[in-house]
Amino acid sequence: MKLITVRIPTPLRPFADGLDAVQAEGETVRDILYGLRDSHVGLGQRILTPEGELRRFVNVYVGNANIASLGGLDAAVNDGDVVSIIPAVAGGMGQASSRRLENLRASIREIDPAEAARLQADGAALIDVREQDEIAAGSPKGALHMGRGFLELRIEDAVPDLDQPVLTLCGGGTRSLFAAEDLQRLGYRNVYSVTGGFNRWKNDGLPFEIPRTLSPAARERYSRHLLMPEVGEQGQLKLMDAKVLLIGAGGLGSPVALYLAAAGVGTIGLVDHDVVDRSNLQRQVIHAEDRVGTPKVESARAGIHALNPEVTVQVHETYLSSDNVDELFAGYDIVIDGADNFPTRYLINDACVKHGIPNVHGAVFRFEGQVTVFWPGREQGPGPCYRCLYPEPPPPELAPSCAEAGVLGVLPGIIGLLQAIEAVKLILGVGEPLVGRLLYYDALSAGFTELRMDRDPDCAYCGDGKAFPGYVDYQGFCAAS
């Protein structure tokens, strides 16, 4: 590979971290420019078409020769060559644009970065209106990131109070004026533009950070999430940092695993001791015919990675027991109960109570299902645990397994999706989780019923002032009921 220098002209430097030249490697000009597109997305978008061809208002030179005379993008380069990118320029800002900026400066108050930092400390909202590739080089601490293309759509969710001071900031102080004008049109009454933009903010020694951002591939994959103010980039990063443990890779665990993986949950743990049976395929949609006979956790891992290879899948091919539950639950944020037997359900509950982990519970029987969130440790209003709702399990004749009573294949999909939604809400911290509420679904009548559940203050496991009594013989406990 040849090492060359690429000269970046002034109009394109904001999209190359402000650099006037960068080092690149390749055998041809195409290699060099494609490498620039990968390392500086905004720069690549402005010199190359989506098809990878040179835009018609850009010329590229190797030394003093235009690549048009050297074979185009396939022109060869040698060690030490200098490649120059030369876009068309108009010689400066036109008179109309200059007058427009003069008018904006007459109607919008400009403040220096130091005053902006003081106002931000006093509660003003600082809005960085630069694009993602610019923000990747740094942004003031605590700034809200809203590119100009989505500012008007998102600002009201981020700053609902029209009287709250709002500060707009760009790279050099020009685009922020236009952004401030847009906010004034929306009714914001205290809008300021930060003169000199982020370049002056940084040069003045004010605090900034290199924000964690999504990769281009992740931005493409989760683009519909990024459009939602309840999710956005920060919410997507929360999902990618989350760790969710699924107990059971069967009827309920299948849709939960697939949709959490699709949503971008970063780590999914799977606990199941069973192997894939052909009778599972009627409802356990994460498995496939060619994986019959393989461990369910390995089959589920294959299904998850086929959908989203970026998800970390931690498999535990084992029975959940009192001996291993503490170790298995360690490090997870949420537990999804997709078990098919009462001993496991009581054990899940007790371990979640002990560790303060929310337990997203789901259960199915023929045409009926139920979903809730057991979370006695919730700070914003604790709810009941499974033992508050069911102090003891029913007798066997009232609780046959799916293998004995059957289950509509589609039903676990519905209940599992509801469990996945509850998990996503918990991760994002949005909405109202099903804490203290049981959602009951009857497929035959296509009806949902919400039932209130109260916490038992005398519950042996989550009651007020109760010490954790320890794990029990869950097989014996359920058999004795």
Q: What is the mean pLDDT of residues 263-277?
A: 96
**CATH classification of the domain holding 194:** 3.40.250.10
Return the higher-pLDDT residue of 16 and 175. 175
Helix-helix angle 411-428:232-241, to 10 degrees: 110
Q: Domain boundary residue among 66, 87, 108?
A: 87
Domain with 23 in it: 2-87
List, edge to edge, every strand of the sheet that includes 267-271: 312-316, 267-271, 243-247, 334-337, 359-365, 368-374, 437-442, 447-452
The β-bridge relationship of strands 166-169 and 82-87 is unpaired
Average pLDDT estimate for 15-32: 89
State the amino acid at position 77 in one-letter form: V
pLDDT, tens digit, 9 for 90 and up, residues 451-479: 999 999 999 999 988 899 999 888 877 76
Which amino acid type is present at position 91? G
Query: pLDDT tens across 6-18, in order?
Result: 999 877 887 887 7
CA distance 400 to 263: 34
Q: How confident is the model at residue 236 (pLDDT cuts 50, 70, 90)?
A: very high
Weakest mean pLDDT among 16-25, 89-98, 236-245, 342-351: 89-98
Q: 197 pLDDT exceeds 80? A: yes
Residues 287 and 160 in one domain: no
User: 240 and 148: one domain?
Assistant: no
Is 466 domain-assigned?
yes
**Domain with 450 in it: what CATH number?**
3.40.50.720
Count of domains for the chain? 3
Q: Tell me whether residue 223 is in a domain.
A: no
Q: Are residues 353 and 429 in the same domain?
A: yes
pTM of this structure: 0.69
Could you report the per-residue pLDDT of 138-167, keeping only the tens digit for each? Answer: 999 999 998 887 788 889 988 999 999 999
Asked if residue 444 is part of any domain, the answer here is yes
Residue 80, in any domain of the structure: yes
Say yes or no: 350 and 408 in one domain. yes
Q: What is the pLDDT of residues 335-381, one digit of tens each?
A: 999 998 889 999 999 999 999 999 999 999 889 999 999 999 898 88
The verdict on residue 357 lying in a domain is yes
CATH number at residue 11: 3.10.20.30
Q: DSSP class of residue 100?
A: H
Predicted pLDDT at 334: 98
Q: Is residue 172 part of a domain?
A: yes
Q: For residue 327, give the amino acid letter.
A: E
392 and 299 part of one domain: yes
Looking at the structure, tell me whether residues 347 and 368 fall in a common domain.
yes
* 31 band by pLDDT with thresholds 50, 70 and 90: very high
Q: Is 319 a member of any domain?
A: yes
**Do 116 and 194 touch, CB atoms closer than 8 A?**
yes
Residue 331 has pLDDT above 90, yes or no: yes
Length of the chain measured in residues: 481
- My answer on whether 205 and 276 are in the same domain is no
Calculate mean pLDDT across residues 431-444.
Answer: 95
Residue 455 to residue 377: CA distance in whole angstroms? 11
> Does position 43 have pLDDT exceeding 60, yes or no?
yes
Q: Are residues 7 and 154 in the same domain?
A: no
Task: Provide the pLDDT for residue 94.
Answer: 52
Residue type, position 168, single letter: T
**Domain co-membership, 126 together with 240:** no
Same domain, 373 and 271: yes
Question: Phi and psi (nearest 5°) for 315?
Answer: -100, 140
Q: Is the pLDDT of residue 481 over 80?
A: no
Query: Distance between CA 11 and CA 311 in Å, rounded?
Result: 39
- When the pLDDT of each residue in the chain is averaged and rounded to a whole number, the result is 91
Instruction: Indicate whether 53 and 152 sit together in one domain.
Output: no
Q: Domain check: are 355 and 281 in the same one?
A: yes
The DSSP code sequence of 276-317 is --GGGGGT-TT--GGGTTSBHHHHHHHHHHHH-TTSEEEEE-
Per-residue pLDDT for 93 more than 70? no
The DSSP letter of residue 396 is G
Q: Structure tokens of 129?
A: 């209106």
Average pLDDT over residues 325-332: 96
Short-list 133, 439, 410, 419, CA closest to 263:
419
Residues 421-436 have a mean pLDDT of: 96
Active site residues: 402
> Which range among 102-116, 206-220, 392-406, 435-449 shows the weakest confidence by mean pLDDT?
392-406
* 225 domain residue, yes or no: no
Query: What is the three-class DSSP state of 85?
Result: strand
- The pLDDT value recorded for residue 400 is 55
pLDDT, position 12: 84
